[in-house]
């Protein structure tokens, strides 16, 4: 977001800046969802306080949606509606983690995860992955990092920032390992519908039913339905943990906006036609971005399998002079690219992966092509 803000400031100053930084779809929220919100505004019931844990009708719809998309069905007592997926992540760690508990955190990771762990008093234990490993952590890595203080594992598939998608057998093996050692799994599944090239999303809760008592699942409408600004997410898990998280939310924020909840209700209870359209556009852009990035001498790149990000290895450009400047880190390189090419990318340091950078392909085709062309001219010029 800091990179995106810098890019916007340059645009405001009259510069032609192309931004690959922000992680949100460039589509408008589908019309039927907006119309549901308009109707909700006119319903006086939505002008009042409602239960802190979420509207009953929406929670029932979330149970149906989870059964449809994730192959398991939570009870309504196992659902908490939150102010976006980020709030669900925070609430999960605030509920489960005690001071000095360790949380295994595969890297690259989304920037909020270590902060939420630390805010809860926990200790992030970072487990590096790379292009060669497909950005997927192994059971052997997890076991080597496990100590008597290990309380939880943060598990993400599809991944922001790498686009990695774990196959079912690896997810099941990780889930069984967690059950064996009594380790909680916090699973972020917000990119569940954005998968490509035959890759499939699998919910760890469905593949390993015995994990039910020690698993919290984070999800939301932001990425799937182009609803980042509506701020609706949810947390699924055992009733006792959801009850504790709901108690926390009742004192922190009370209920999520009723209008936003009714819009999200329309989203999750409707069809997936709009989702398929957006995914098709993301897929086309993904293929174009991969082709263009791989044409840059020195770039190493795993083809993203999900989400809407590419995560190239740019370490070959560090320590070499470009446009009179010698970047030593990808933070330096990102600043150079923004200043010289007027293109915003996010350096890998933000995700615990120095040497890499994240480029979102959730932007228009013309901007995508122009932006990568500018980067190519700068790096290979």
Between 243 and 3, whose confidence is greater? Answer: 243
**Among 329, 305, 370, 269, which residue's Cα sits nearest to residue 136?**
305
Q: What are the pLDDT digits (tens) for 133-180? A: 999 999 999 999 999 999 999 999 999 999 999 999 999 999 999 999
**305 in helix, strand or coil?**
coil
DSSP, residue by residue, 196-245: -TT-----HHHH-GGGGGGEEEEEESTTTTT-GGG--EEEE--HHHHHHH
pLDDT score of 9 more than 90: no
Q: What is the pLDDT of residue 1?
A: 67
What's the rounded mean pLDDT across residues 324-344? 95
pLDDT for residue 21 = 86
Contact present, 198 and 166 (Cβ < 8 Å):
no
Confidence of residue 342 (pLDDT cuts 50, 70, 90): very high
Q: What's the pLDDT score for residue 6?
A: 79
Res 2 pLDDT > 90: no
Mean pLDDT (whole number) for 345-355? 97
Confidence of residue 3 (pLDDT cuts 50, 70, 90): confident
What ranges make up the beta strands (E) of 211-331? Answer: 215-220, 233-236, 309-310
3-class SS of residue 264: helix
- The yes-or-no verdict on residue 260 having pLDDT over 70 is yes
CATH number attached to the domain at 36-269: 3.40.640.10
Fold of 2-23+274-380: 3.90.1150
Would you say residue 192 has pLDDT above 80?
Answer: yes
Domains of the chain by residue range: 2-23+274-380, 36-269
Backbone angles phi, psi at 155, to 5 degrees: -125, 130
Quote the pTM value: 0.96
CB atoms within 10 A of CB 268: 22
């Amino acid at each position: 977001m800091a990179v995106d803000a810098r890019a916007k400031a340059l645009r405001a100053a009259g510069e032609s800046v192309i931004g690959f930084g922000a992680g949100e779809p460039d589509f408008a929220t589908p019309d039927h969802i907006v119309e549901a919100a308009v109707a909700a505004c006119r319903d006086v019931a939505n002008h009042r306080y409602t239960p802190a844990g979420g509207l009953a009708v929406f929670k029932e719809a979330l149970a149906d949606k989870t059964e449809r998309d994730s192959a398991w069905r939570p009870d309504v007592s196992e659902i908490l509606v939150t102010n976006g997926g980020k709030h669900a992540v925070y609430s999960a760690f605030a509920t489960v983690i005690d001071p000095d508990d360790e949380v295994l955190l595969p890297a690259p990771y989304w920037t909020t995860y270590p902060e939420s762990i630390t805010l809860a008093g926990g200790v992030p234990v970072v487990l590096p992955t790379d292009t060669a490993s497909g950005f997927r952590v192994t059971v052997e890595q997890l076991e080597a990092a496990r100590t008597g203080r290990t309380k939880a594992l943060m598990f993400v598939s599809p991944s922001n920032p790498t686009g990695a998608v774990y196959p079912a057998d690896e997810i099941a093996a990780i889930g069984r390992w967690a059950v064996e050692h009594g380790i909680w799994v916090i699973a972020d599944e917000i990119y569940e519908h954005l998968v490509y090239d035959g890759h499939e999303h699998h919910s760890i809760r469905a593949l390993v039913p015995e994990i039910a008592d020690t698993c919290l699942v984070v999800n939301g409408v932001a990425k799937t339905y182009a609803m980042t600004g509506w701020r609706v997410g949810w947390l699924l898990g055992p009733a006792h943990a959801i009850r504790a998280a709901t108690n926390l939310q009742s004192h922190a924020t009370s209920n999520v906006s009723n209008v936003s909840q009714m819009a999200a209700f329309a989203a999750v209870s409707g069809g997936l036609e709009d989702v398929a359209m957006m995914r098709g556009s993301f897929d086309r852009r993904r293929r174009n971005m991969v082709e263009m990035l791989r044409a840059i001498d020195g770039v190493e790149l795993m083809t993203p399998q999900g989400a809407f990000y590419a995560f190239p290895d740019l370490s070959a450009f560090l320590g070499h002079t470009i446009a009179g400047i010698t970047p030593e880190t990808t933070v330096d390189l990102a600043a150079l690219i923004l200043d010289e090419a007027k293109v915003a990318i996010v350096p890998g340091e933000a995700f615990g992966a120095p040497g890499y950078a994240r480029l979102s392909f959730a932007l228009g085709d013309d901007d995508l092509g122009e932006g990568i062309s500018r980067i190519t001219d700068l790096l290979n010029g």
